[in-house]
């Protein structure tokens, strides 16, 4: 499978940005330079000393890493292979819900 990772991530982020602001989550979108052919996009989230990175690759792989910002201890690390665009969005939704639960605990 080959997906347009930056486009999918931008669309997903636009749909969730209001909730992120409401929850006081700092958000950073990282994209490759315009002239780069690397097909990936990363969202970095930061709230309540919890840091998360969600990276979507053009191959359909989604990587989710969460760590405690003060201790640098890994909390969770997951790689999943998605089969289509909708699957990527569903995985991002699931990982984001996990992140919301974690920041509520801290």
Residue count of the chain, please give it: 106
Residue 63 lies in a domain: no
What rounded mean pLDDT belongs to the chain? 94
> How many independent structural domains does the chain possess?
1
Residue 25 lies in a domain: yes
Residue 19 lies in a domain: yes
Percent of the chain at pLDDT exceeding 90: 82
CB 102 within 8 A of CB 87: no
Helix (H, G, I), strand (E, B) or coil at 90: helix
Residue for token pair 């989710």 = 64
Range of the domain at 15: 9-36
Mean pLDDT of 18-32: 95
Residue 17 lies in a domain: yes
Residue 47 lies in a domain: no
For residue 12, how many C-alpha atoms fall within 13 Å in the half-sphere facing its CB? 26
Per-residue pLDDT, 73: 86
Per-residue pLDDT, 106: 81
What b/e sequence results for 5-19 when a residue is b if at least 16 CB atoms lie within 10 Å of its CB, and e otherwise? bbebbeebbeebeee
Q: pLDDT for 49-84, tens place per residue?
A: 999 999 999 999 999 999 998 887 889 999 999 999
């Amino acid at each position: 499978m080959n997906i347009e990772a930056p486009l999918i991530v931008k669309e997903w982020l636009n749909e969730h940005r209001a909730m992120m602001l409401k929850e006081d989550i700092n958000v950073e979108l990282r994209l490759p330079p315009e002239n780069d052919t690397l097909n990936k996009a990363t969202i970095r989230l930061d709230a309540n000393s919890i840091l998360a990175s969600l990276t979507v690759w053009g191959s359909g792989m989604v990587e989710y890493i969460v760590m405690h910002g003060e201790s640098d201890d890994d909390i969770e690390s997951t790689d999943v292979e998605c089969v289509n665009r909708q699957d990527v969005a569903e995985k991002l939704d699931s990982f984001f819900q996990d992140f919301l639960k974690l920041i509520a605990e801290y």
